[in-house]
Structure 1
Amino acid sequence: MSKLAENIISLVGGKESIDSVTHCMTRLRFVLTDDMEAETNKEQLESLEGVAGVVNNGGQFQVIIGNNVETVYQEIEAQLGKEKEEGSKEDKRNWLDRFFDTLSGIFVPVIPAIAGAGILKGLLVVLVNLGWVSGESNTYMVLDVISDAVFYFLPILLAFNAAKKFRCNPIIAATIGTILLHPTFTGVVAEGNVAIDFFSIPFTLMNYSSSVLPIIIGVWLLSYIERFIKSWMPKVLDIVFTPVFSLLITVPIILIVIGPISIWIGDLVSTGINALYSNLTFIAGMVLGAVYPLLVLTGTHYGLLPIMLQNISSNGYDVILALCAAGNTAVAGTVLSVYFKAKSKTNKSLSISSTISGLIGVVEPGLYGLIIKYKKLFGAVFAGGAAGGLIMGIFQVESTGFGLNPLGGLPVFFGDTFSYYLIGITVSFIVSLVVGLIIGLPEEENK
């Protein structure tokens, strides 16, 4: 990994060209002061053993690594010799690129915990249905708490990550999350006494468990308030009084203004999407199932995470993840078709490994290693994703959490619609495989 990290740093333009580097689940994300050299060396980067692909998108130069991305990232950080502070230089990316980068930075670190909890939720359903665990037992209670805690306390986890992106104190941000979830507040809401006041200012107290928008917007506000206080606070008093004033100013604004409005907006968006989905199930299913791999290709699929989490928070289930599973399965089926058409051992080997990783839920190797290379195969991806998404949409397949899909997080789909989920991903895989075989590969692949 040391040599791979060294080569990547060199080929993207050296240490002096790297403004910042972060990572998501499968790719390194570089913000470069000048990406000309990195673009020139793109083919060399793609040829490195351990690199699945390269894409320059949204103001970021992204190097796709796969499951080892965390190890490579840590080695790069070590070789750079210091932590690269995000935003240390003027960010010239447009607002949309910065928005998706921020979402990625906030949500991606939480995904492993959410995925693990979601899988446990699904397994718990199976244990109860099989009669192995009673829903009234203490064992069920413990397992239920383990699977539910990450969702209930999600604002605290998001607050910590948001603080890193907005460059304010992560502990103070997490403290705000704990305040919103304090038993006194949750108890008042549970009793129905939500109309309260603060210094005679009336407001509606909300239930912030599992919420997304209030804490993210609140921490964004905290970042400005904290910097303003630090600008005039004497250094000798900073360690105590900056947190005090930050909390006293930020928390009431969240409770009185940001929280109620954010909860209302989140519920409105969730309700609107579900209403649209309920009335246009096959259209919505086909479209998202077909285009989801394109979102993965550009790294914008993280924009769906807040919507999925809001759905789970509001309804107890989500319908979007199943459509994403149809798209991922279509990629796996398409890259398997390459195995039967390719002449080179390299492509055959890449096809098998990419099919396996794609079925687990990591589709970047197949997308960047084969489908981008043979662009006509996108037809197979779209066909398979649309076919699987159609079935998922018609039967409104639900998930109770978040996990790698189609198979990596299978238990999150356990429930009344599980059989339709299996049918959906099977159809998606078969359709994409057959269409991929029909499309075939260009003649130059044989050379």
Structure 2
Amino acid sequence: MKKKKKDHQFLAERIVQLVGGTGNIENVIHCVTRLRFYLKDESLADTEAIEELEGVMGVAQAGGQYQIIVGPAVDDIYKTLSPFLSTADDGLPEESPEDHSDDKGLDKIGRAVNNFIGIITGSVMPIINILAAAGIIKGLLAVLTSTNLITDSGTAYLIINAMADAVFYFLPVLVGFNAAKRLDGNPLLTAVIGGLIIHPTILEAANDGMNIFTMGGFDFPFVTYTYSIFPMILAAWFVKKMEDWLKGWVSAYIQAIFIPIVIIGTVGALTLVITGPILVGFSTLLADGLQALLSLNAPLFGGVINAFYQLLVVFGLHWGIIPVYVNDFATLGYSYFSAIISMTIVGQGGAALAVAVKSKKKNIKELGYAGAFSAFCGITEPAIYGINLRFRRPFICASIGSAVGGVLTGIFSINMWSIIGSLIGLPSFIDPENGITANFWYAILVTAITLFVSFGLTYVWGYSDKMEMRQKKNKPKNPAKANITG
């Protein structure tokens, strides 16, 4: 354990140095396998030196983020990294890259879009694993009730159902807290707004169809906000802006009491009356629009999406899509879109497994089995960066197998009730209300076919021990970059 902590400490120190020091870091968040840096000047980062670090699988630059892939240990590395950032140098030269006054209009729009998506992602990513776990618990609960091991009126059902529902019920609080952290706002005050909009009396009024008030023939109804995402992201922004503004003129002697009163009253009322209902309506339209798109030609849609989806993962652009199907779960309680994408994870795992089985080289076998195991647990980066992309052909075979899986998922209209996919996520295909149905068996069938196609193509055509793994370039390190500490 001490050695792991020491390794993480060294890796964190080197990463901070090689991205340009603390003074070059605006912010950093993480997802399941990546540290996602927002850098003031990406040219200061020594990408080749970072890629050579033990524990780093690769680097991707996309969506305004400098992404360092470190695998499942990302949370431990992030926690080790955080103390370095707390001493970041806030002072910047006059000609800092932060000065965008001469940017062209399109650059400003692009940067604004990247920042917007980054805020959404930073609000959702930290709870993705918890959402996935809760979804699997719901699936297992459905199995327990459908097999009469427990009854839906018993104490065990009550407790397990509460475990599964808690994260969804309190989603506005969690999303608001994360959004405030991402915006450098006030997480606790924002969480209070989340607690307000899911207060039992508010939910009861919404369920009874009550209106807050009526004006000029327009009704302003109470809305159910459990499972919602977007209203709290906007609320976090309002809290941040209003708190900064109030601190500029309210006396320091009364700030501690006065500011929370004003913000809770103002942002709470604004969310309940205007922005909340509008954004809940937008969320529903987004989910319904995706459902309509899938209904046009689900097999074609599934095949095309799955053929190229893992390319988005390579470039780190899939992070912009994740909130779309998270919104499906939050709004509808299920997602056909997520079911389609799940097969791409299986495809990458199948290709890595084929390499491991076929190879006689010990190091390749180890990488292949590790990548396959990780993919079957829902994370593809170790398979992609450790094996498939470095030999190229396995990645192509995995994409073909994934496309086949996407087509079949569309043909059988396979649905999914939790965000986690691949083999570990098979319980996600169990209907929480009806238990094990044909949907579950179709999911197992298509998962098996996807795995078989990816494995078979890779074993026959995609790999042989005569192939050379693409190596990282070994160029002289830049000492000036390697020793910047901000």
Fold-level match, TM-score > 0.5?
yes
Deviations 1:316-343 (A, max 9, x none): 3221221121111111112223335656
Given candidates 131, 149, 166, the residue that maps to 2:183 is 166
Per-residue deviation at 1:381?
2.4
After TM superposition, the score normalised by the length of structure 2 is: 0.84
1:33 corresponds to 2:43: no
- Asked if 2 retains the 8 angstrom alpha-carbon contact of 1:289 and 1:385, the reply is yes
Instruction: State the partner residue of 1:373.
Output: 390
Classify the secondary structure of the residue corresponding to 1:31: strand
Shift of 1:220: 1.7
**C-alpha contact (below 8 Å) 1:21/1:84 kept by paired residues:** no
CA contact (8 A) 1:19 1:84 kept: no
**Corresponding letter in the other structure for 2:426:** L
Counterpart-to-counterpart distance in 2, 1:442 and 1:287: 31
Gaps of 5+ in 1: none
Map 1:33-432 → 2, pairs under 5 A = 33-39=40-46, 41-42=47-48, 44-80=49-85, 82=87, 90=98, 94-194=111-211, 196-197=213-214, 203-339=220-356, 344-403=361-420, 405-415=421-431, 416=437, 417-432=439-454
1:386 CA displacement:
0.8
Q: Secondary structure at the match of 2:254?
A: helix
- Answer with 157-166 or 428-437: which moved more: 428-437
2: CA distance, partners of 1:265 / 1:91: 34
Distance 1:243 1:84 in 2: 30
Question: Contact 2:63–2:317 at 8 Å: present in 1 too?
Answer: no
Report percent identity of matched pairs. Answer: 32
Corresponding letter in the other structure for 1:188: A
State the match for 2:483 in structure 1: none
Q: 1:293 and 1:183, CA in 2 relative to 1: closer, same or farther beyond 3 A?
A: same
1:49 partner SS? coil
Q: Residues 54 and 368 of structure 1 are in contact (CA less than 8 Å); yes or no, is this contact kept in structure 2? A: no
Change (3 A) 1:289 1:143: same
- Give the C-alpha shift of residue 195 in structure 1: 5.6
1:116, 1:245 → 2: CA distance? 37
Instruction: Give unpaired runs (5+ residues) of structure 2.
Output: 1-7, 101-109, 432-436, 471-486
1:20 to 10, 23, 27: 27
In structure 2, the CA distance between the partners of 1:179 and 1:243, relative to structure 1 (3 Å rule), is: same
Contact 1:343/1:446 (<8 A) preserved: no
Distance in structure 2 (CA, Å) of the matches to 1:208 and 1:80 = 35
Summarize deviations over 1:4-60 as a string: whole Å, max 9, x none.
Answer: 223323333344443433222111122333333534x52x43333222222222332
| Matching residue's letter, 2:422 | P
Greater relative CO (CA pairs within 8 A, separation 6+): 2
RMSD: 2.8
Partner SS state of residue 236, structure 1: coil
Q: Conserved in 2, the CA contact under 8 Å of 1:163 and 1:169?
A: yes
| Amino acid paired to 2:320 | G
Per the alignment, residue 104 of structure 2 pairs with none
Quote how far apart the aligned CAs of 1:129 are: 1.0
Kindly provide the amino acid, as one letter, of the partner of residue 445 in structure 1: E
What SS does the corresponding residue of 2:244 show, helix, strand or coil? helix
In structure 2, the CA distance between the partners of 1:341 and 1:100, relative to structure 1 (3 Å rule), is farther
> Which deviations, in whole Å up to 9, do the C-alpha atoms of 1:254-311 show, x marking residues without a partner?
1221111111111111111112212311012212222221232233323333333332
Q: What SS does structure 2 have at the residue aligned with 1:408?
A: helix
Partner amino acid, structure 2, of 1:90: E
The superposition leaves residues 45-88 of structure 1 with CA deviations (integer Å, 9 ceiling, x where unpaired) of 33332222222223322211111111112222234563789x99
Quote the Cα distance in structure 1 between the aligned partners of 2:79 and 2:371: 25
User: How many correspondences in the alignment?
Assistant: 443
